[in-house]
Chain A
Amino acid sequence: MINEAYERLNTGLKYLLNNEQNKWLESALDQINNSDDLINDLLILSAATRRKLGADLLEPDVNPLQLTSDLFSRHWTVADAGRVLLILRSVLTDVSQSQAIIQTYFQQGDESEVAAITRILILFANGETLKPYALEVGRTNSKPLFAALAQYNPYPAKYYSDHEFNQLVLKALFLGIGIDPVMGLLQRANPELSQMCEDYIKERVAANRTIPSDIWLALEPCASAEGEELMIRHLSNDNPQDRYYVVKALLQKDPVTPKRRQLLNDHLQVEEDPIVLALFA
């Protein structure tokens, strides 16, 4: 899997970089390939990557590179991609050092480096043994770092227990990080998560505070009657973003029940927002 992802990213990235950037990256990858002090070279080259390649986004929604069946370079920066290549090249150069490479990179990387390796946790062998790193990243209050774990990242859905997954989703809501891009959200949904979302809403309401618009995506799959009613009530909110996520939540389970179909048809008659209407298409 590492080999395949490395080749795809290396090929794809070449087209996005200018000559000078390509030259630096090629020489950095060569240096790793021939290194007799692999971890040290990786960390020094990785630290320079953002200065050398820049931190522009890789055209996030137009053409993200598909690295494996479930890993896309969505929301990666050029520096992320460069660092990922350096990490993968290191592991491919000496697989016997891969645990030490991962450990040292997590321990001594700066925030953006830790975000880069977090995005590709799914690629490494023995994924289960890497969970402590993911959980430690999840303890951050830095939004960009937490987002690297929670959004467009297949690792949590694959390896987290229900409890760990639920805490991840709740913390994303708490930090104001969108949960729509949490991979496997619908598949991993469970009654405890719905209950946690309902409790969170009650707490926010009691404190006179707003409810995250997208919370319904996590609440809906196993909603209690009370939760379901609460969600449907938000269908008449003034803010179109609130209505968007309620409609999206109501549509997310296939097939849509006749009762919900009726409700959505009724709503369709009064909905005017083009983005919400597009969900019905």
Chain B
Amino acid sequence: MKYFDSHIHMLARTTDDYENMAAAGIIGVVEPAFWLGQPRTQAGSFIDYFNSLIGWETFRASQFGIRHYCAIGINPKEVNNVAMAEEVMKFLPRYCAKDNVVAVGEIGYDDITEAEDRFFAEQLQLAKELNLPALVHTPHRDKKTGTERTLALVKEVGINPELVLIDHLNEITLPLVLDSGCWRGHSVYPDSKMSETRMVALLKQYGLEKMVVNSAADWGKSDPLKVPKTGQAMLDAGYTEKEVEQVLFINPIEYYAQSGRISVEEVLKPIAIDQQKLWEENSVLRGQTPVVQ
């Protein structure tokens, strides 16, 4: 089975994770820019972060045979530092133009403030102008209101809803998104957002169309193998391998393929691992024998 994790923060994960993911069948990932668990206090920190995502992290993934793509944006939590967010917005378009950037994201609401409204709208507008997908985070709290306001803003900005994926949905918020034309994202977490069993129940109830599942694994307690684990739960519930691949491999790539910078064919093309390679004179090895395929 082949899997694609449509939302995972690999910068916060270890090389063991990459090895385990590859062994479990994950051959591609999208890493959206997000909060690092601590506030950044200056715009320059975002330049370094974006550079790491589009360069170093893509290199690290390739060393384990995984194709790594990014979404670039300023997250809802940090746009509340308005002066800093204004600075970041100035260089955001340059990063959105990079080859392996397949979406603007993750953007959306956290506390649903005025500043969040403003920068969410500006970034949706940017996605619309660049004809890029927009990956939208729905808030942990007041999720229903956050989702309703997201859908209203998508309409107001006038971005094609097909370009929008609304993520971290649950039993209450998924039904709100069904008729919107937007893609439907779900993050399967240990002990919180969504479990494999609950995810399978949603697939049974609402079908497979435009349904996307990810691990959203980051620096917190999370599990980068939740996509293959959901695949197993789907098989156990009677889905065929083809159906599992549709949801957990084809759907997310087709969504991001609207950027014109990723395709199912490309992701399927194996990467020849060459651990002799360096990135800015740095390697993922610590004296081990390099794997070369």
By a beta-carbon cutoff of 8 Å, the part of chain A in contact with chain B is 107, 135-136, 138-139, 141, 163-164, 166-167, 170-171, 174, 196, 199-200, 202-203, 206-208
* Shortest beta-carbon distance from B197 to chain A in Å: 9
Q: Which 6 A-B pairs have the closest CB atoms?
A: A206-B171, A170-B141, A167-B111, A199-B144, A174-B141, A203-B172
Question: If A136-B80, A167-B112 touch, does A203 touch B143 (CB 8 Å cutoff)?
Answer: yes
**Structural contact, B112 and A163, CB atoms closer than 8 A:** yes
* Shortest beta-carbon distance from A206 to chain B in Å: 4
Q: Decide if B118 is an interface residue (CB 8 Å cutoff).
A: no
**Structural contact, A174 and B140, CB atoms closer than 8 A:** yes
**Structural contact, A171 and B141, CB atoms closer than 8 A:** yes
Question: If A206-B170, A207-B170, A207-B198 touch, does A167 touch B80 (CB 8 Å cutoff)?
Answer: no
* Shortest beta-carbon distance from B166 to chain A in Å: 16
Residues of the A chain whose Cβ atoms lie less than 8 Å from the Cβ of B110:
139
**Structural contact, A207 and B80, CB atoms closer than 8 A:** no
Residues of the B chain whose Cβ atoms lie less than 8 Å from the Cβ of A167:
111-112, 141-142
Closest to A135 in B: B80
Q: Decide if B240 is an interface residue (CB 8 Å cutoff).
A: no
What is the bound-complex CA distance between A139 and B170, given in angstroms?
Answer: 23
Question: If A136-B39, A139-B39, A167-B112 touch, does A206 touch B142 (CB 8 Å cutoff)?
Answer: no
Q: What would be 29 A-B contacts, judged by CB atoms less than 8 Å apart? A: A107-B41, A135-B111, A136-B39, A136-B80, A136-B81, A138-B111, A139-B39, A139-B80, A139-B110, A139-B111, A141-B37, A163-B113, A164-B111, A164-B113, A167-B111, A167-B142, A170-B141, A196-B142, A196-B145, A199-B143, A200-B141, A200-B142, A203-B143, A203-B172, A206-B170, A206-B171, A207-B170, A207-B198, A208-B198
If A135-B111, A171-B141, A203-B171 are given as contacts, then 7 extra A-B residue pairs at C-beta distance below 8 Å, sorted by A number, are A166-B142, A170-B141, A199-B142, A199-B172, A202-B172, A203-B144, A206-B171
Q: Mark B101-116, 1 if CB is under 8 A from A, else 0.
A: 0000000001111000
By a beta-carbon cutoff of 8 Å, the part of chain B in contact with chain A is 37, 39, 41, 77, 80-81, 110-113, 140-145, 170-172, 194, 198
Residues of the B chain whose Cβ atoms lie less than 8 Å from the Cβ of A136:
39, 80-81
Number of A-B contacts (CB under 8 A): 51
Residues of the A chain whose Cβ atoms lie less than 8 Å from the Cβ of B170:
203, 206-207
What is the bound-complex CA distance between A90 and B41, given in angstroms?
Answer: 25
Residues of the A chain whose Cβ atoms lie less than 8 Å from the Cβ of B142:
166-167, 170, 196, 199-200
What is the bound-complex CA distance between A232 and B199, given in angstroms?
Answer: 32
Closest to B198 in A: A207
* Shortest beta-carbon distance from B170 to chain A in Å: 6
What is the bound-complex CA distance between A138 and B77, given in angstroms?
Answer: 11
**Structural contact, B80 and A199, CB atoms closer than 8 A:** no
**Structural contact, B145 and A139, CB atoms closer than 8 A:** no
**Structural contact, B41 and A199, CB atoms closer than 8 A:** no
Residues of the A chain whose Cβ atoms lie less than 8 Å from the Cβ of B140:
174
**Structural contact, B143 and A139, CB atoms closer than 8 A:** no
- Selected from B37, B144, B171, the residue in CB contact (under 8 A) with A207 is B171
Residues of the A chain whose Cβ atoms lie less than 8 Å from the Cβ of B141:
167, 170-171, 174, 200
Residues of the B chain whose Cβ atoms lie less than 8 Å from the Cβ of A163:
112-113
* Shortest beta-carbon distance from A147 to chain B in Å: 16
* Shortest beta-carbon distance from A178 to chain B in Å: 16
What is the bound-complex CA distance between A139 and B80, given in angstroms?
Answer: 10
**Structural contact, B145 and A199, CB atoms closer than 8 A:** yes
* Shortest beta-carbon distance from A197 to chain B in Å: 10
Residues of the B chain whose Cβ atoms lie less than 8 Å from the Cβ of A166:
142
**Structural contact, B112 and A206, CB atoms closer than 8 A:** no
- Selected from B41, B77, B144, B194, the residue in CB contact (under 8 A) with A139 is B77
Closest to B173 in A: A203
Residues of the B chain whose Cβ atoms lie less than 8 Å from the Cβ of A206:
170-172
* Shortest beta-carbon distance from B114 to chain A in Å: 9
Residues of the B chain whose Cβ atoms lie less than 8 Å from the Cβ of A139:
39, 77, 80, 110-111
Closest to B172 in A: A203
What is the bound-complex CA distance between A208 and B195, given in angstroms?
Answer: 11
* Shortest beta-carbon distance from B213 to chain A in Å: 16
Residues of the A chain whose Cβ atoms lie less than 8 Å from the Cβ of B113:
135, 163-164
* Shortest beta-carbon distance from B89 to chain A in Å: 19
Residues of the A chain whose Cβ atoms lie less than 8 Å from the Cβ of B111:
135, 138-139, 164, 167
* Shortest beta-carbon distance from B184 to chain A in Å: 16
* Shortest beta-carbon distance from A13 to chain B in Å: 32
What is the bound-complex CA distance between A206 and B175, given in angstroms?
Answer: 13
What is the bound-complex CA distance between A208 and B112, given in angstroms?
Answer: 26
Residues of the A chain whose Cβ atoms lie less than 8 Å from the Cβ of B41:
107
What is the bound-complex CA distance between A166 and B141, given in angstroms?
Answer: 11
What is the bound-complex CA distance between A163 and B81, given in angstroms?
Answer: 18
